Structure 1
């Protein structure tokens, strides 16, 4: 039976009384009263169970006076009684009103301290309130009118050959260069020690010992490798470079630096052959199979880049199409999580809102909008998936967890056990799998226009998307479901 504001109290369990006091939008509040007589009954019942099992010095088994047990355990038992009553009230409120809670309820004990003490002694009624938010009812309807463009890039032979050459270079053997007058040149593998400084001060991550570097590979900062050419083994040289403006470590981006480099060893590159033997080195039977594998991998990368683009387009369309009231608690929770990451990134980078050309107030407003979008899309996708019967098999979760554990070499068992013992953490593995399945379901119901583009066009679009993600990573929707 549904509780309504102003109704006479309804009975829950034995004598617990529940009255709905608020029904406004997605917010619900109930007043719960557990009469003193019921408290006493529950307390006595618990004490009787303990009496039958209690073993206390000075008393025969099963003969410990209830009054003595009450002095010893009464308060702790009453705490359990109260907790049980709270859980029971919440459960019955949800079941009898057919509610879909958006989050855990807020329990409030508004009485004075003296009143609470009397209730704990079963001398007065125990009253508390249960406040909660419910999930909105979403009218999904059809997806008519939603149309997206799916970019398709074909893999050509030149791309496969480029990867083959790179694999061959990686498999190249090197032989030591020895003798008088031997100097480093492009293509050699140099073994170096170095110490980097900015304005004369060493910086974190700027030093290394015994580092192998193939000159001309472009592995280090632009201009670094070229300045090592002509250096002999045992010699040192000061290399001057400037970190790129888009360098991954923001504290170093655009900064001029010097490196004191000592050449410890030098090796000349051997010849490489792109043949069946190269393929066998990668576990494939011949060169043709290696080419097929490379082509399939490139195609998967292109498909993934295309998916990221059209998925964002689809989510934008869904966000524009649907509007419904959002549970304030979920939005606040999402915003708080986003804001903590923003603050952590600022602390790590040393940048401020002013450096980004904004203010904290404006940034909070922007991220609040992002939080609302993520909650809206998360609830919408969950409802669509539920209506469509979308499921994620345990085997799929296990496979994804296995892949996650593999990304932590040497700690695979610890990672696996952590997720297995923490349902909430395991849900974080399941959620994106569920989301992708829902996205695929929606894709099958909307109009999709395939457009063939070049690799350059596809990746240029992908670079633009990555730049958006870099500047405002919280706009990503890949983890919209929590």
Structure 2
């Protein structure tokens, strides 16, 4: 077998493979033997069809079978002989026909894992936000906790206002036709929450209990249902009841409801959590800056197969997180394709970063020692409340252990880069206020009776 390897780019190679005629004949004979055992032809018992008739009637099946086998065998052998590490399936760009007595040739493009030589990775200049304690955050979180534990009670007022929970029946129409899934009964809507179509809640504000009202609103251009996007709609609404939040007092009794002894202890706990979260956020941000600086000094192509694999990983993680919150991509106006399009750039950067860290580890001879691997397993066991033996079993396969070792080596490479970098602490930049643009938020579920979809959003689930 003759193989010619041509480098198309740093991440793609072309294989030109020629399989000699004698090997082609062997595969043809083998294919007819296998086909003959199962083939049926009128006038002959299964397995008893003469060779001439078999070749006359079953040549297409033979060619398909031989073609697949020759490409598979030829590709695998070419990759092994030339020590090429592919990261995806080959793309067959050209091939000859299967003919007895003739050699078979094919050309394949294959993506390969790049092995870059990292440079200029020491002395990176980075800015790191200096942690600044903000007491207002603690007060805000206490208020959020109070609001989360508020009870809804029927209001004595007759007129709806912002902040009320309106219990409504509604039905929507576009061009005098009922909107599919545009009807709800006893739907609980928080006025001022912007959880319905823009303008809808404002029309309900001011309505009186038991009042029926008709009004027009327009679906936003970015609405998930393309048939409704940008369309004017008429809604008929009946205000059935008004409820309002009754918020508990902020005192020691409130603290005891959340499992602590006093309000002072609750404040301390919130402060500790706030500090931990902020420090983790700051560390994550400076780590991103480090990787951005590294990639900027070492731009490199990455195989599409590796990017797609990373996107699948990110999609699975995001879907799992949303599922734990009782949500889904669809509730955010996303599907698999739109999610991947949104995070394409992020996935490319993560693959680039991983390849560069691997290169730095190789160049600096950074490795993970056995005691470090054991320590990581103990850390994982503590995090997931499992025994170390259980974690060892989880990482018992060669592939799982290799993934753990790669993760440790990457972390050590990052530590190396930080040790060699110049990190300057700076004050946090104050966020500039931007005009808020109303979007179509996620639909809400009604607490009772028949309720259908009100609205979708295009909110993002950031990694």
Please indicate the TM-score interval, normalised by the length of the shorter structure: 0.5 to 0.7
Q: Secondary structure at the match of 1:140?
A: coil
Task: Tell whether the 8 Å contact from 1:227 to 1:239 is kept in structure 2 after alignment.
Answer: yes
Cα distance, 1:323 vs structure 2: 3.8
Change in Cα spacing, 1:221 to 1:300, as seen in structure 2 (3 Å) is farther
Deviations 1:433-469 (A, max 9, x none): 999959955556533333343xxx46559x89xxxxx
Pick from 115, 129, 144: which aligns with 1:151?
Answer: 129
The question of 1:87 aligning with 2:63 is answered no
Pick from 173, 176, 182: which aligns with 2:151?
Answer: 173
Q: Where in structure 2 are the equivalents of 1:339-378 lying within 5 Å?
A: 375=348, 378=351
How many Å separate the matches in 2 of 1:222 and 1:49? Answer: 67
How many Å separate the matches in 2 of 1:31 and 1:56? Answer: 38
How many Å separate the matches in 1 of 2:212 and 2:68? Answer: 72
The question of 1:385 aligning with 2:387 is answered no
Task: Tell whether the 8 Å contact from 1:319 to 1:373 is kept in structure 2 after alignment.
Answer: no
How many Å separate the matches in 2 of 1:259 and 1:250? Answer: 17
How many Å separate the matches in 1 of 2:87 and 2:178? Answer: 52
Change in Cα spacing, 1:135 to 1:288, as seen in structure 2 (3 Å) is same
How many Å separate the matches in 2 of 1:35 and 1:56? Answer: 32
Change in Cα spacing, 1:189 to 1:74, as seen in structure 2 (3 Å) is closer
Give the TM-score of the pair, scaled to structure 1: 0.54
Gaps of 5+ in 1: 1-15, 338-347, 350-366, 398-429, 465-475
Q: Where in structure 2 are the equivalents of 1:451-466 lying within 5 Å?
A: 451-453=426-428, 457=429, 460=432
Change in Cα spacing, 1:381 to 1:43, as seen in structure 2 (3 Å) is same
Q: Where in structure 2 are the equivalents of 1:67-466 lying within 5 Å?
A: 67=51, 71=55, 76=61, 79-101=64-86, 103-111=88-96, 116-117=97-98, 119=99, 122-141=100-119, 143-177=121-155, 182-184=158-160, 188-193=164-169, 209-213=185-189, 231-236=207-212, 261-270=237-246, 272-275=248-251, 277-279=253-255, 281-282=257-258, 287=263, 290-291=266-267, 294-295=270-271, 298-299=274-275, 302-303=278-279, 306=282, 309-324=285-300, 326=301, 330=304, 375=348, 378-385=351-358, 387=361, 440-441=414-415, 442-443=417-418, 445-453=420-428, 457=429, 460=432
How many Å separate the matches in 1 of 2:230 and 2:108? Answer: 56
Q: Secondary structure at the match of 2:136?
A: helix
Cα distance, 1:139 vs structure 2: 1.0
Deviations 1:405-446 (A, max 9, x none): xxxxxxxxxxxxxxxxxxxxxxxxx9xx99995995555653
Deviations 1:233-284 (A, max 9, x none): 2124678999999x99899999999976542112354451234554565566
Q: Secondary structure at the match of 1:99?
A: coil
Cα distance, 1:40 vs structure 2: 2.3
Residue in structure 2 matched with residue 407 of structure 1 by the alignment: none
Higher RCO (C-alpha under 8 Å, 6+ residues apart): 2
How many Å separate the matches in 1 of 2:207 and 2:8? Answer: 77
Task: Tell whether the 8 Å contact from 1:196 to 1:206 is kept in structure 2 after alignment.
Answer: yes
How many Å separate the matches in 1 of 2:128 and 2:240? Answer: 52
How many Å separate the matches in 1 of 2:289 and 2:199? Answer: 40
Cα distance, 1:158 vs structure 2: 3.2
Cα distance, 1:81 vs structure 2: 3.7
Aligned residues: 370
Cα distance, 1:78 vs structure 2: 5.2
Q: Secondary structure at the match of 1:145?
A: coil
Q: Secondary structure at the match of 1:80?
A: helix
Task: Tell whether the 8 Å contact from 1:47 to 1:66 is kept in structure 2 after alignment.
Answer: no
Cα distance, 1:163 vs structure 2: 1.8
Q: Secondary structure at the match of 1:148?
A: strand
Change in Cα spacing, 1:94 to 1:168, as seen in structure 2 (3 Å) is same
Task: Tell whether the 8 Å contact from 1:47 to 1:69 is kept in structure 2 after alignment.
Answer: no
Task: Tell whether the 8 Å contact from 2:214 to 2:237 is kept in structure 1 after alignment.
Answer: yes
Of Structure 1 and Structure 2, which has the larger fraction of its residues in helix?
1
Gaps of 5+ in 2: 312-332, 335-340, 381-403, 436-459
Give the TM-score of the pair, scaled to structure 2: 0.56
Change in Cα spacing, 1:84 to 1:184, as seen in structure 2 (3 Å) is closer
